[in-house]
Amino acid sequence: MALLVAVASFCQNLTGFAFALIFVGVAGALRLMPIADAANVASLLSLVNGVVYLRSHPFEPRWDLLRPLLWSSVPGVVLGLALLFWLDGHALGGLRMALGLVVMACALLLLLQKRRRATSSGAAALWGAGLLSGVLGGLFSTAGPPIVYHLYRQPLPASLVRQCLLVTFLACTLVRLAVVIPTGQLPWHVVWASAIAVPVVAGVTWLHARHPPQLPVRVVQWIVCALLMLAGASLLASGL
């Protein structure tokens, strides 16, 4: 699991959003832990990453972008959690197949993302992206794909996109944990596994910041997409 956390952290630093997708997808495919537990571990580690980022980077919010994303993603997280609790108890195979399809779709979206729009999309697109991200965040702790794909296609500075993503993911993570903890869905072995993984995440991030790999963006995308496609195919096969 430590090796998986290191790989997911490395890809997260390269792409900005792939940690939960890779961790939950591969952990489910290799049956390292139940999908629900893997999603909880990813939530806790994402929270740590977000806090560390905010402490080391100045935050200048754009509320015209953040308000639609936050107001739509929060109820989406609750809906996603409700689906997770039902599917995990009644259709585990279906849950694995659903996650496999999501992971593979995210890989394709990442590859297809080549151009930015000339003009910004309307508020309705932000509401839709936020809602879909919230549902995926509640289901698999992988809120990234819809909102990442949407924001990176807009004519916005990369630093602003990262800030919007960070704030939205932190909000989704906090809501998810606020629902999971009181319902007893966060067992101690999940907390223990997360605590063990924190030094791995911190170490990989520290090394990446001081010795960033000089790889073309397209090469990075292909590496991450290959990992995601393998994980998604394995989940589909195990679900079938």
Instruction: Mention every residue, 6+ apart, whose C-beta is less than 8 A from residue 13.
Output: 204, 205, 208, 209
pLDDT band at 152 (very low <50, low <70, confident <90, very high): confident
Amino acid 127: pLDDT: 94
Q: Report the alpha-carbon distance of residue 227 to residue 181 in Å, rounded.
A: 31
User: For residues 215 and 114, which has the higher predicted lDDT (pLDDT)?
Assistant: 215
Query: How far, in whole angstroms, is CA 83 from its chain's centroid?
Result: 17
Q: Look up residue 36 and give its two tokens.
A: 């629900």
| 6-16 burial code (b ≥16 CB/10 A, e <16) | bbbbbbbbbbb
Q: Report the alpha-carbon distance of residue 64 to residue 123 in Å, rounded.
A: 9
Reference 109, options 210, 35, 17; nearest CA is: 17
Mean pLDDT (the chain) is 80
Kindly state the helix (H) or strand (E) to which residue 6 belongs, with its residue range.
helix 2-15
Domain ranges of the chain: 2-239
- Using one digit for the tens of pLDDT, what is the confidence trace for 36-92? 788 889 888 888 877 777 776 667 778 888 899 999 998 998 898 888 777 766 666
For residues 149 and 26, is the Cβ–Cβ distance under 8 A?
Answer: no
Amino acid 42: pLDDT: 86
